[in-house]
Copies of this chain bind each other. A is one copy, B any other.
Amino acid sequence: MQATVLDKQLSFLREIDRLKTVVRQSPLLDNSRKENSAEHSWHLAMYALLLNEYAGGSVNTHRVVQMLLLHDVVEIDAGDFPIHDESSSNSQAEEESEAAKRLFGLLPQQQGNEFLALWREFESAETEDAKFAKALDRFQPLLVNVFTSGGTWKENDVSLEQVFSRYGPVIQRGAPLLWDVCEQWVTQHFSEQASRASGLQKGDKE
C-alpha cells in the first residue's frame, strides 16, 4: 500500500523535472541566457520568505511559498505565456486548467486535491495569500527588467503606460508598498531611456 502511494508521489516528482526545460522570456541577471520556470519558481519562493512584511494583508508565508513553488508546473503541458503576448488568454486558461488536472492527478488523491486547490486559489487571486503570491510573480520579472536596463520591455517595445497597466494592478493589490517603489524605478527607467534617445537624436543632428 505504502509503495503505491510513494510510486504516485515519485511519478509526479519525476514528471515535474520537465519544468526545468520550460524557458521564459526573462533573462538571468547576467544576461547569459533565458530563465527557466523551475529556477524562477525557486527564486519567487525566496522572495516570499524575505518580503512577507510587504504583503497587503495578513498572509501565511508557508502557503504563499507552496503556491509559488507549484504555480508554474502547468507550463509543462501548456507552455509559458509571456506577459507581453496579448493573444489568446481564454485558451490559455483552459489549457492550464487541463494541465493542472493531469499533473496533480498523478499524485495520491488527497494530496493531488490539495495541490489542485492551492493552484486554483493562486489563479483566482482572491485570498490574501494568493494576492501576495501573484504580486511577487509580477514583481520579480519587473525587477529583472529594471536590473537589466529594460530586458523584455525593450525586446517587446513596451511603453511606460503598458508597464503600469500590465504589472501595476496585480502588484499594488497584493503588495502596495512594493508597487510604490516600482513606480519610482519604472518612471526613472523610462525617463532615462527618453533622455538617452533624445541625446542620440541631438548627436545625430550635430
A residues touching B (Cβ–Cβ < 8 Å)? 2-3, 6, 9-10, 12-14, 16-21, 28-30, 32, 35-36, 38-39, 41-43, 45-47, 49-51, 54, 61-62, 65-66, 69-70, 107, 111, 143, 147, 177-178, 181
Contacts and interface: CB of A to CB of B under 8 A. Distances in A.
A45 B30 CA distance: 25
Given A2-B177, A20-B43, A39-B39, 9 more contacts: A13-B143, A16-B43, A17-B29, A17-B43, A18-B29, A20-B35, A42-B42, A46-B69, A61-B62
Judged by DSSP, the binding face of A is: helix
Copies in the complex: 2
29 contacts: A2-B177, A3-B181, A6-B54, A6-B178, A6-B181, A12-B50, A13-B46, A13-B47, A13-B50, A13-B143, A17-B28, A17-B29, A17-B30, A19-B42, A20-B35, A20-B39, A38-B38, A38-B39, A38-B42, A38-B43, A42-B42, A45-B45, A46-B70, A49-B66, A49-B70, A50-B107, A50-B111, A62-B62, A65-B69
A20 B13 contact: no
Given A46-B70, A69-B42, A20 B28 contact: yes
A96 to B, nearest CB: 18
A163 B43 CA distance: 31
A16 B46 contact: yes
A183 to B, nearest CB: 13
Contacts of A50: 9, 12-13, 107, 111
A17 B41 CA distance: 12
A35 B20 CA distance: 8
